[in-house]
Amino acid sequence: MTDWSTCPAVESVSDRLSGAWVFTGTRVPVSALFGNLAEGATVEEFLDWFPGVEEWQVKAVLEHEEKNLEVHVNR
């Protein structure tokens, strides 16, 4: 499981979506990005569908997850 607490592009607020990790300043869960990408959406489409999310946030989330996966693969 990814530790999102060190990613500056996301936040978890207990009274927002039950504390789910969301893109900072939005109600868009991080899981929405991965779900949409898994279904074949592009980053550009995701950004169009969720206008409150900024491109730098998506890039930061993807880079954070990439680093997380590298750590787990190299164990």
pLDDT per residue as tens digits for the range 21-62: 999 999 999 999 999 999 999 999 999 999 999 999 999 999
Burial of 58 (0-12, 13-18, 19+ CB in 10 A): buried
pLDDT surpassing 90 at residue 72: no
- State the SS3 of the chain: CCCHHHCCCEEECCCCHHHCEEECCCCCEHHHHHHHHHCCCCHHHHHHHCCCCCHHHHHHHHHHHHHHHHHHHCC
pTM here is 0.90
Please count the other Cβ atoms lying within 10 Å of the Cβ belonging to residue 33: 23
